[in-house]
């Protein structure tokens, strides 16, 4: 806030008009004093704040989609314990149609082919989980999708 002194009301009116011409607005005026106000918009501060917001957003995205803390919790002594492997960053190519799917995909986004089986030979000797429907290798004791115990298939046990 600044104060200016003038000698009379004529000079007061003259100074008020000068400020009005410079973009100020009259907030209060009588014969002895006047208050004029101008809202200052600083383009420099605006640009600085905008840059900080953008940088903050990029930092947030980098943290959110960066490395993940993965914890695998298993019951001690559980048979057929599986090692958790980090998802690969490479795409999985569908053996049926050739579409490149994300590494975490279980089924092809183009044709629906099961991407969890490495080749067609593994589907012949596979067990389907009764709980989640995941296909597992024939000798699996637990489902790789949900952990449910897979009972032995008695029909395949007594093969000739």
Which residues, other chains included, contact 122 with Cβ-Cβ below 8 Å and sequence gap of 6+?
137
* Tens-digit pLDDT profile for residues 68-108: 677 777 777 765 555 555 555 577 888 888 888 777 778 88
3-state secondary structure the chain: CCCCCCCCHHHHHHHHHHHHHCCCEEEEECCCCEEEECCCCCHHHHHHHHHHHHHHHHHHHHHHCCCCCCCCCCCCCCCCCCCCCCCCCCCEECCCCCCEECCCCCECCCCCCECCCCCHHHHHCEEECCCCCCEEECCCCECCCCCCECCCCHHHHCCC
* Tens-digit pLDDT profile for residues 24-45: 999 999 989 999 998 777 888 8
- The candidate with the shortest Cα–Cα distance to 14, out of 29, 2, 1, is 29
Place of tokens 């957003």: 57
**Lowest pLDDT segment from 47-56, 76-85, 109-118:** 76-85
DSSP 90: S
Coil, strand or helix at 157? helix
């Amino acid at each position: 806030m600044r104060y200016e002194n003038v000698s009379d009301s004529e000079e007061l009116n003259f100074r008020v008009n000068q400020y009005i011409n410079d973009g100020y607005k009259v907030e209060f005026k009588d014969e002895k004093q006047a208050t004029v106000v101008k809202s200052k918009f600083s383009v420099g501060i605006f640009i600085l704040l905008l840059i900080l917001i953008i940088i903050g957003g990029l930092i947030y995205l980098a943290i959110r989609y960066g490395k993940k803390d993965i914890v695998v919790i298993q019951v001690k002594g559980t048979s057929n314990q599986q090692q958790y492997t980090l998802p690969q960053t490479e795409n999985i190519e569908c053996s049926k149609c050739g579409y490149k799917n994300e590494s975490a995909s279980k089924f092809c986004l183009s044709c629906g082919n099961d991407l969890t089986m490495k080749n067609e030979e593994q589907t012949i000797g596979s067990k389907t989980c009764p709980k989640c429907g995941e296909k597992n290798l024939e000798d699996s004791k637990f489902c790789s999708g949900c952990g449910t115990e897979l009972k032995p298939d008695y029909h395949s046990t007594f093969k000739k």
